[in-house]
Amino acid sequence: DAMVIQNPRYQVTQFGKPVTLSCSQTLNHNVMYWYQQKSSQAPKLLFHYYDKDFNNEADTPDNFQSRRPNTSFCFLDIRSPGLGDAAMYLCATSRDLLGGGYTFGSGTRLTVV
Amino acid sequence: AQTVTQSQPEMSVQEAETVTLSCTYDTSESDYYLFWYKQPPSRQMILVIRQEAYKQQNATENRFSVNFQKAAKSFSLKISDSQLGDAAMYFCAYRSDNQGGKLIFGQGTELSVKP
């Protein structure tokens, strides 16, 4: 089945130690999004790629970076994780920027110790 | 800027009964899309139902239906014949053709289903 896969499901990292979360998709969608969801809160968009074009939300901290080496994969890099970065990170895709809903991955729950 | 408001942080329903979750939104755009997503505990967020703003007819998907009131900017979700598997966090979301297709979420409503 076509899907969005996030690895790992759970990630524990040390304070200040760089960490990378990955997302892959078999839907051949043009757009890939990264959302941050803290406990009991709504997901918040960090950035998205439309094909190779990167679009950063104005309030996304510089500590968060992303890479999309090809259509199928997108990575979220947190350069120096702080305790406040502990959250669920959701990857989502959509066919294009217009209209339709997203397909979400299962998320990666990041713990910072 | 568009905003989405869910005024019910928690709701509870008896199995087999009907429950309505509320959502209001604010926008100056005329063309947009509204969604309800379901997020079970520690599980994937899945699309429940979708409504295009240009359509007057309310969307329906099996036991799930919406009451879309464009003038009032209201978009409620009705779940009929509630099942234990319906227990989850429900998010109302807005998306337009602008802003890079960004989904704007409400704060969510935690639905519990009592057997």
The predicted pLDDT at position A73 comes to: 97
Q: Which pLDDT belongs to residue B19?
A: 98
pLDDT value of position A39: 86
What residues in chain A have per-residue pLDDT under 70?
Answer: 1-2, 99
Sign for the pseudo-dihedral over CA of A113, A33, B101, B93? negative
pLDDT, tens digit, for every residue of B85-97?
999 999 999 998 7
| pLDDT exceeds cutoff 90 at B35 | yes
Q: Strand order in A4-7's β-sheet? A: A4-7, A19-25, A73-78, A64-67
For chain B, say whether A8 makes contact (Cβ under 8 Å).
no
Q: What is the pLDDT of residue A17?
A: 96
Strand, helix or coil for residue B35: strand
Residue B2: per-residue pLDDT: 85
Structure tokens at B99: 């802003």
Q: Cis (ω within 30 of 0) for the bond into A81?
A: no
- Chain B: closest CA distance from residue A90 (Å): 9
Query: Is the pLDDT reported for residue B28 higher than 80?
Result: yes
Mean pLDDT for all residues in chain B: 93
C-alpha span between B96 and A75 (Å, rounded): 25
B11 near A CB under 8 A: no
In this complex, do B101 and A104 lie within 8 Å of one another by their Cβ atoms?
A: no
Give which of B97, B91, B107 is closest to B29, Cα–Cα: B97
Interface list for B 21-50 with A (CB within 8 A): 33, 35, 37, 42-47, 50
Task: Read off the pLDDT band of B31 (50, 70, 90).
Answer: confident
Q: Between B102 and A64, name the one with better pLDDT.
A: A64
Chain B residues whose CB is inside 8 A of the A97 CB are 97, 100-101
Percent of chain A whose predicted confidence (pLDDT) is above 70: 97
Give pLDDT, residue A105: 94
Nearest to B64 by CA among B78, B45, B83, B82: B78
Q: What pLDDT was estimated at residue A1? A: 65
**pLDDT tens digit string along A54-76?**
999 999 999 999 999 999 999 99
Q: Could B47 and A96 be called an inter-chain contact, meaning their C-beta atoms sit closer than 8 Å?
A: no
CB–CB contact B44 A104 (8 Å): yes
Residues across chain A: 113
Contacts B107 to A, Cβ<8 Å? 41-42
pLDDT of res. A29: 93
